[in-house]
């Protein structure tokens, strides 16, 4: 999800104390709900159906699954809070807790995605180096044959 306002606005929701905070957060929560439905759930399903990968894939699958579940919890807590007649700070405690947990899961999943990108980048550069080395070795072998004739 590429939205620079996501984390700051969710942090604000994590401090919600009244109905105005809920109204202000409604657009970003709606965006999170759409992202869960259109991006996160299909990714979790795809990871679950795919072949068993290495430790990075297993960690990513675990983190995205946890994020998916925590997103559902967050959306349910937000719906409950919005349906309160006069939300109070005490009444919004569950929403604040769920928002904090969601942010933790989001950051954990993001860090694992970054690690996986790093692994793929390293793997790609190593593969290129091996190919380059193999090509250089093959060229050197061909030159030796030419010299010995």
- Planar angle of CA 61, 126, 139, nearest 5 degrees: 150
In a domain, 49, yes or no: yes
Is residue 28 in some structural domain? yes
* DSSP designation for 14: T
Residue 144 domain flag: no
Q: Please report whether residue 131 resides in a domain.
A: no
pLDDT digit string, tens, across residues 93-119: 999 999 999 999 999 888 877 766 555
Flag whether 78 is in a domain.
Answer: yes
For residue 56, give every residue at least 6 positions away whose Cβ sits within 8 Å of its Cβ, in sequence order, or none.
Answer: 112, 115, 116, 119
Tokens at 145, concatenated: 């044959």
| Any domain includes 143 | no
Per the structure, the count of domains in the chain is 1
Residue 129 lies in a domain: no
Q: What is the model's pTM?
A: 0.74
Indicate the helix (H) or strand (E) that contains 61: helix 55-82
pLDDT digits (tens, 9 = 90+) for 132-149: 655 555 555 555 554 444
* Residue 122 belongs to some domain of the structure: no
Which residue segment(s) compose the domain that 60 sits in? Answer: 6-112
């Amino acid at each position: 999800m590429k939205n620079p306002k996501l984390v700051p606005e969710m942090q604000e929701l994590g401090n919600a104390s009244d109905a105005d905070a809920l109204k202000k957060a409604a657009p970003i929560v709606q965006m999170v709900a759409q992202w869960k439905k259109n991006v996160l759930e299909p990714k979790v399903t795809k990871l679950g159906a795919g072949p068993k990968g290495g430790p990075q894939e297993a960690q990513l699958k675990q983190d995205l699954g946890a994020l998916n579940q925590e997103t559902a919890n967050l959306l349910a807590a937000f719906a409950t809070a919005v349906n309160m007649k006069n939300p109070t700070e005490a009444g919004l405690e569950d929403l604040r807790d769920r928002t904090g947990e969601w942010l933790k899961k989001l950051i954990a999943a993001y860090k694992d995605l970054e690690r996986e990108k790093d692994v793929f980048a390293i793997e790609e550069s190593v593969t290129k180096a091996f190919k380059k080395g193999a090509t250089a070795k093959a060229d050197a072998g061909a030159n030796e044959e030419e010299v010995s004739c």
